[in-house]
Amino acid sequence: MIDNANDLTIAVSKKDHIQGSLDAPIVLVEYGDFECVHCGRAYGILKKIQKHFGKDLAFVYRSFPLAEVHPHAQHAAEAAEAADASGKFWEYHDLLFEHQDALDDSYLVDYANELKIPENDFVAAMEKEQYADKVQDSFMGGVESGVNGTPSFFINGSRYDGDWEYEPFMEYLSSLS
């Protein structure tokens, strides 16, 4: 179910949010939206897949906020980048997906406090929209790669348009390793 017409236009690099090693035999990239219910469902599936494959899989998350349909998605993505500045991207990522129904700005600050991210720095970054360009760059990289909805997946640089429910996704990924 790989669509070679839609390869990643921006290669995965150390600038990305990565869990695992880029040397892993499987590099799975998700373009996601923290407010998207489908991405929320995929979150749990991806956690199980990561656990199953362990060091044989690198997982990369790139923001693709669909702000026109998800009013909190852009700020949530910027907040995740602000959390990254404190080395807490993945913890913040998880909190956002685990609390998709509570993504307004006051909750974003609460999650930063929960992770002991300095509140003044976090709030200042959000007020200045310090990470808006980084989120926009991620979004545009997705557009250039043919992403038109979330979640969108790329495996080893090529778009995956198959079923991403646990069993069929596992079956496909297992065929690669």
* CB within 8 Å of 167: residues ≥ 6 apart: none
Q: In what order do the strands lie in the sheet with 2-7?
A: 2-7, 158-160, 152-155, 26-32, 57-63, 17-19
Instruction: Report the CATH architecture of 2-176.
Output: 3-Layer(aba) Sandwich (3.40)
Sequence letter at residue 132: A
DSSP bridge partners of 30: 61, 153
Give the model's pLDDT for residue 172. 95
Give the model's pLDDT for residue 139. 97
Give the model's pLDDT for residue 151. 98
Judge whether 28 and 56 are in contact, CB under 8 Å.
no
Per-domain boundaries in the chain: 2-176
Give the model's pLDDT for residue 5. 57
**111: closest CA among 92, 124, 94?**
92
Task: Tell me the whole-structure pTM to 2 decimals.
Answer: 0.94
Give the model's pLDDT for residue 161. 92
Q: What is the full per-residue pLDDT of the chain (177 aa) written as tens digits?
A: 544 457 999 999 999 999 999 999 999 999 999 999 999 999 999 999 999 999 999 999 999 999 999 999 999 999 999 999 999 999 999 999 999 999 999 999 999 999 999 999 999 999 999 999 999 999 999 999 999 999 999 999 999 999 999 999 999 999 987
Judge whether 59 and 154 are in contact, CB under 8 Å.
no
Judge whether 125 and 105 are in contact, CB under 8 Å.
no
